[in-house]
Amino acid sequence: MTRTYTEQALHIVERQLAVSKKDGTVARNRGIEFRPNGYIFSGNTRISKVSAVQTLAAKMEIEDKHPAFKEPKKTKSSGITWDKLNQATKDFFFELASQIYAATDDVNFENGHPPAARLGHDIPKISLQNAPRLSNLKKAGMMESGSWNSNVKSERWIMLTEQGLATYRAMHA
């Protein structure tokens, strides 16, 4: 059984009010704020529960009919930067970057594509000791991994990002 936009919106409003009150925090959904004291705001204007349901239902209907109007998801920032990495992680970065450079045939990277290498083929697999370091390097925006260059799902590539490439070149210039 499919619920109407109004029924869905009513459920969301009640749930957000309950969560806000229980957690003591401001809950947000599609531009509407639900405060712990039970007040509801749209922008800087305080609105009633009925108005919140109507506004939310209208926004949900627009989203369903026009997917381009959906609010973009905000990505979480890990807060890790190159300066916050420990020396062992930085050393691992330079070791890994030099392995990627050595394994890459095309030494002219001016075409806008940083060098990439296949894990376990072009360069050795990452050890369990270095796995958290690689994770932190990805969070810091220095490396990326994925299977972009292959149709084989199990084939993983590792690549320097633009920031990682700049850092590597600066230290090895």
DSSP the chain: -PPPHHHHHHHHHHHHHHHHHHHTS-EEETTEEE-TTS-EEETTEEE-HHHHHHHHHHHHHHHHH-GGGSPPPPPPP----GGGS-HHHHHHHHHHHHHHHHH-S----TTS---EEEBTTTBPPPPTTTHHHHHHHHHTTSEEEE-TT-S-TT--EEEE-HHHHHHHHHHT-
pLDDT tens track for 114-128: 667 888 888 888 889
Which of 3.40.50.300, 1.10.10.10, 1.10.3720.10, 3.40.50.720 is the CATH number of 82-171?
A: 1.10.10.10
Instruction: State mean pLDDT over 93-106.
Output: 82
pLDDT score of 90: 93
pTM: 0.52
Percent of the chain surpassing pLDDT 90:
21
pLDDT tens track for 146-155: 765 555 556 6
pLDDT score of 68: 58
pLDDT tens track for 154-167: 667 788 888 888 88
Lookup result for tokens 């506004």? 55
45 pLDDT higher than 70: yes
Lowest mean pLDDT among 61-70, 83-92, 130-139: 61-70
Percent of the chain surpassing pLDDT 70:
79
pLDDT score of 70: 53
Lowest mean pLDDT among 6-20, 26-40, 67-81, 131-145: 67-81
Domain ranges of the chain: 5-69, 82-171
